[in-house]
């Protein structure tokens, strides 16, 4: 059974940093692209970043480019999102998702971790 479990969310002050993690199990992690998607309170979904199987290529939303970095450790079946210079508008639930094999569909999702940026 595919499982994705996020951790690392919490309350942080504007300008602060946070590192989110996603533990993957139930599939060959190194064979899949992975993704982060966020959702502000009461709002819709927003794609944040993708990373290819080996980790050498990464894609980030312009609004987080230079502040957030997606990375992965295939030996540990782990996905991360390093978030620096956090802003109030970064507040929301952050989901880790597996990118399926049918053209970037997100076929499995974690339960999400809440990030709150506030003073």
Point out which residues bind other proteins (CB under 8 A).
37, 44-47, 50, 59, 61-62, 95, 100, 102-107, 109-112
Report yes or no: 81 and 49 within 8 Å, Cβ to Cβ: yes
Residues near 84 by beta carbon (within 8 Å), at least 6 away in sequence: 17, 67, 68
The minimum distance between CB 76 and other proteins, in angstroms, equals 22
> Residue 13 or 25: which CB sits closer to other proteins?
25
> Residue 44 or 54: which CB sits closer to other proteins?
44
Helix (H) or strand (E) holding 52: none
Alpha carbon distance 36, 51 (integer Å): 9
> Residue 27 or 47: which CB sits closer to other proteins?
47
The minimum distance between CB 95 and other proteins, in angstroms, equals 6
């Amino acid at each position: 059974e595919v499982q994705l479990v996020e951790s690392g969310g919490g309350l942080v002050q504007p300008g602060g940093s946070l590192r989110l993690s996603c533990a993957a199990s139930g599939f060959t992690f190194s064979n899949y692209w992975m993704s982060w998607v966020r959702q502000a309170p009461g709002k819709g979904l927003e794609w944040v970043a993708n990373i290819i199987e080996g980790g050498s290529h990464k894609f980030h939303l312009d609004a987080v480019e230079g502040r957030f970095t997606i990375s992965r450790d295939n030996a540990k079946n782990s996905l991360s999102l390093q978030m620096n210079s956090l802003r109030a508008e970064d507040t929301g639930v952050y989901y880790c998702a597996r990118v399926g094999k049918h053209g970037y569909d997100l076929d499995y999702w974690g339960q999400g971790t809440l990030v709150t940026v506030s003073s």
